[in-house]
Every structure is written in structure tokens, then in C-alpha cells.
Amino acid sequence: MTSIVIPAHNEERVLGRLLDSLLADPSGDETDIVVVCNGCTDDTARIAARRGPRVRVVEIPVPSKHAALRAGDDHARGFPRIYVDADVVLTPADVRALAGPLDDASGILATAPERQLPLADCAWPVRAYYRAWQRLPAVREGLFGRGVIAVSEAGYARIAALPPLMADDLAASLAFAPGERLVVGAARVVIQPPRTWPDLVRRRIRAAVSTAQVERHRDPREASARTGRADLLALVREDPRLLAGVVVLVATAVVARWRARKAIAAEDFGTWLRDESSRQN
């Protein structure tokens, strides 16, 4: 039985959208869905409970994604296990596509879907940024930044030993060698991007802080997901139309890292900078 664990902290505006999508296929009765409401002060738990018996609701008092994931593991019934952020959209067909490669014979321990970013309502710097960002090798090949990671039972054993980190998806992606992880082309996840450049900067500040935390726990001999100057130059050489996006990407990274410096120096890895613009209906 495939289990889906959804950590949700005050996600009343978006959780119903995800659950309705996951429940759209009546043949998916064998899918086990666990919503872990962590430290919620809104109607998140009630919205999940309204979806009926196929959705089990677990409530914990601590507003912590890591604690929510572990609580979800305690209540989940099977494998493959798929961890899904509450603010994305995933279909039953996507779930099946992600679970397919996670058999004992394939050697694949973790999968993730391709990203679908609806950018039409975003400001032009955001559109330019993501056109370049999505073409970066580390972004194309890594499992992070998708809001969804699926693991086999052996893959779960690998990530269960990870420490609590803000960038849990990045840490999980780096925990698997390239031959152990797979981005499944037949699966798509809809990710709501930030609407404006200031919203994007706030998201990238969080990314800068959380990446710094991951780097402090990572063995320097292991692979890194950081983008270098050579990667950016290669993008522009391959497609000169991406030059504006690369400029925005660099400017955004510089501003975000500058604003993140105090939190990194103070090792403040607990303050969560959530992008509320991506949760607007």
C-alpha cells in the first residue's frame, strides 16, 4: 500500500486543493493518506477531516515540519511512502508514476516528479528567474524544490537517519547517489511560485539559510547542489535568451545571501520565512 504523508501547518487555504486532487480517482482506495496538522491555529484539521475516511488526520502541538514528518511515519501504513507539501497539487496518476520505479529490483530508492510552475500571473523578474533556474543541472537532476519526494522502504531507512533540517528535501536529495534517485518524467507536480520579486527574495533568503545549515552537516567530500559560475555561463552559451534570467538569478542570490548573513552567523535555523503569495487563491 502506498502511503502519502502531508505535513500541514496552517494550510487551510491550500490543503483542500491538494486533497481533492489526490482523491479524484475512486480506484485509489488502497492509497493511505495521512495529514499531520502541526501547531495549527486555523481550520487545517477540519478541512482534512471533511474529506472522509480515506484521509486520516493526526494533530501534534509543535509547529515543526520535521516533527510532522516523523509523526506521519508513525501512522503511515506502507511503502512506497510519498511526502507531499500541502501547497502543491499532485494527482493519483502522478502518485502511481512515482511509486512504479521503487521496487526492489530497480535499485532506485527515491523518486520525484517534474515541476510545473504556473508563471503567467507572476512579475517578469520572477518569470525570468525561473526560466533560467529550471535549466540549471542541479535543479533538473535533484529531488529538491519539488514539494514531493517518494521513497522505498530502503530509501526511507536512508532519510530517517537525517537530522532535523530546514531544507529537508535538499538533504534527502543529497542522501542518494545519482543512480539511486530518479526524476520521473511521467509525473508532474504543480508548484505555485512567488508572485513578485520581493516574494522571490524572501523565498531565496530561506533557501540560503537552509542550504547553509545543510552544508554544515554535509561531508565536504560529498556532492553539493550549489550552482557555480560555469553552470551559469553554460546556460547563456546554450541559449542566449536566458541572459536576462541569469542576471535576475544572480541579483536575487546576492540580495538573498546578504540578507541571510545574520541568521546564518547566529545559526538561526528555526525562523521559517514562508511565501504567503504562493498560497493565494
- Is position 252 within any domain? yes
- Is position 196 within any domain? yes
Task: Give the Cα separation of 108 and 145 in Å (integer).
Answer: 19
Interval 122-180: pLDDT, tens: 999 999 999 999 999 999 999 999 999 999 999 999 998 887 766 688 888 989 999 99
Interval 202-260: pLDDT, tens: 999 988 887 877 777 665 555 556 788 899 999 999 999 999 999 999 999 999 999 99
- Is position 52 within any domain? no
- Is position 72 within any domain? no
Element (H, E) at 48: helix 44-49
- Is position 73 within any domain? no
Residue 218's identity, in one-letter code, is R
- Is position 217 within any domain? yes
**11 φ/ψ angles, rounded to the nearest 5 degrees:** -115, 35
Measured at the CA of 86, the angle between CA 84 and CA 88, to 5 degrees, comes to: 80
Q: Would you mind telling me the total number of residues written for the chain in this entry?
A: 281
Q: What is the pTM of this model?
A: 0.91
- Is position 229 within any domain? yes
Measured at the CA of 192, the angle between CA 187 and CA 197, to 5 degrees, comes to: 135
Number of structural domains, the chain? 1
CB-CB contact of 127 with 248 (8 Å)? no
